[in-house]
Structure 1
Amino acid sequence: MTTHPQPSAGQCPAHEQTPPTTGPNPIYGDAFSADPHATYRRLRAQGPIVPVEISPGVYGYLAVTYRAAVYLLRNTPSRFAKDPRHWEALRLGQVPADSPALMMMQPRDNALWKDGPEHTRLRNAINTAVAQVDTHALAAAVTGIADQLIDTFAATGQADMVAQYSDPLPMLTVINMFGCSQELGMRIVGAVTRLFDGADVEQANAELEAACLELTHLKRRAPGRDVASYLIAAGLTDAEMVQTILLVIGAAAPPTSNLVGNGLRRVLTDPSFAGSVHAGVRPVTDALEEVLWDNPPVPNYSPLYAIGQQSYEGVDLWPGYPILVSFAAANGDPTLVVAPGARAGNKGHLAFSAGVHGCPAPDLGRLIAETALERVLDRLPGLDLAVPENELHNRPGTFLAGLTALPVRFQPDTRLAPHGR
């Protein structure tokens, strides 16, 4: 078994990892964002769980094999806690206030960061709320939103499907689900996206919490048939409402935006999908499932903390350090028996996490993404990339995986004016 001296609070854990490393492995920055899977392969060669630098000056571990990821998630909370109060550097005030990791990993009054009975209570409130969503009405709402967005560019014969479609569609859909105005909803989702991207995180967090509190007060005065009102009916306090709205919208909108964008890229560039999906031979669900395997929208997250010193396959895990799960690295683990061409219909991936903190409503995310892709393929004949695939670039960041832009061309719809109906 590999052993380590107890590290100091500011020291990288497992600094004597075998095989030895010359320093912490960063999972941020331009090189990582350009080709994260190259980083995952290098880390996987070092072990199943390896020391990393999550953001500048913030150290922890990253699980990079499927077995290790499942072990961590299935042993939460018996061996690994979610509560960030176990994070030693945070407790000692050593995490920079403007750190992207801090805003994504700090304690919040919602189910994601709780253990035991408190987690169960808050999780049940979310389960009850999302269970009341009418999926038929949701599909109809997504179709209407998709058509409105497509109408704005269908006559031009070209578009950026990220900025003009995959980014706004899930945002507008979630706004509809929460029953709030477009202006308030866009403030919430815009701030969530900035948190995921690590942009101006302190200001984004403050704006997000203020907007979520405004929505809470609005729904207490005038409840409706929407997710926010259902959460209030479950008995959540204002503080819990703010952080639960933040959690649900954060889990629903930016990741689904990336799933739509990456799914469309897959349809347009993968020979096994291009053409066949347009002809209706192979459903878009297959393309989306491949994306969930190969390029999950949330590649690295679910911070955990060892309860006492733990060991996994010879790697010592010291308490006090966050252990992130790399869903992207786990899904790409070469020891998995699922071949890349045989993943359609196989939901064994970890794109929606697993265990007691797994996504409570993956089918709603799938429904939004499937409907969005189907409307694009129905409405835009001759759809194709407008640039070579090697000119497509990933968004920077540790916690979210998506494209900065997806330029396309298609046959213009002459029935529409260039600026919509």
Structure 2
Amino acid sequence: MIDREFVRVALFGLCTAFLSALATTPVAAQMASPDRPVQRSTMSAADLDRIAATARPRQPSRAALPGVMSAQAPMIAPAESGEAPRATAGFAGVPVRSMVDEREYRAMVEAATAARDGAATTQSDGISAQNYGQNFQDTIYHYSDRLVSPRPYYAPERSVGLLLFQAQDTNWYICTATLIQRAIILTAGHCVYEGGTGNDTGWNLQGYFIPAYSATDGSATGTNQPYGRCDIDRWFTTNDWYNTGALNGGYDVGLATCGRLHDARWSANNNRFPGGRAGYLGFCYQNCRWNYQFLTQLGYPSNYYAAGEMTVSQHLEVSGQPDPYNPGWVGLDYIFGSGMRGGSSGGPHIANLGEIVDSATDPGQFPDRNTIFAVTSWGYGLGNSSGTEIKIQGASPLSGVANANNFVDLFNAACRRSRAHFGTWTCDLLVP
């Protein structure tokens, strides 16, 4: 005979233990799109080119930009841990010379040499600011933008590319994304999910990543995808972007898993994982937000070259600082001057871009090369009494404010997907 009192007490104990476990379980730091087949259209490289030419740059609505917050009470930036950034190492990829025939390789080298020589003859010192915040050269809003020339064939720039996707409204959009593992790309949260929706209706329907995209790079075959493209398998974003869609909070970060390359002009890339060919960049995953950082931004902004070519911008970026031209407002993201606009969203902000041999005994606070600290999130132009405009963008630090994004869990969710669907060797899980 069943002892009902025993059962009642036992159930009560189980329920209490279950509720206690829930209370001590941390809130999820990442959200993933449903594990279902992605709605993907069958299209050729030429079809994709036509879509890319008419796709809209993806950006948050202007009403949501931080510039409208000037009349509100000041926001106080939570204190950071003060600990050094924790970051992964990148991978340079396969040498270009092994992918193309000798004739095309020589042509590429000649084009690169001519571009450098041309720059040196037209500029007194070979370096100048191509565009800058007018009359703001002595502030943090000063910047220098230029075309990546001749084209992003080589590491580390070739790890960055164009993200072409169809959102829930069925329209096609463009953003910028970066390889951070063999089959994982990094971009902005608003490039993978309609922030603040809080349910599964906000995820993109389908997408493609084209590393080292160049609209004018037709070469002999007419295709502008030397490394090909990969189909997006699944989307990921932070819990706070999923639920709130708030800008200037460090939340606007997204990831995606991406399959094998196809339709590559250099056929040796086909059926290979993109990060194994074009390489991938290292990334910060803890303590990524600092008061001051000199970073290099890469992207495909629609206002430069109609988003057809990669643009590079270099600038000092600040966070947790009040904006002197927008009283009462504090930047929780990195803020900086930039001429880039829509289409640059999701682009990487990289510490120590490129390679250098440094014999100094003190290499600096963060000497690691080619490490992503943030992704482009929002931007606006702020007019003033003199009629000029301060051009400002914001970038979400990968770890969020005070590590609130728990980027380790976010990356590991994408890595588990990559390991399960593409092979355990495609990425290594992060250890907190």
Q: TM-score range by the shorter chain?
A: under 0.3
Q: Which has the higher helix share?
A: 1
Q: Mark the structure with the bigger radius of gyration.
A: 2
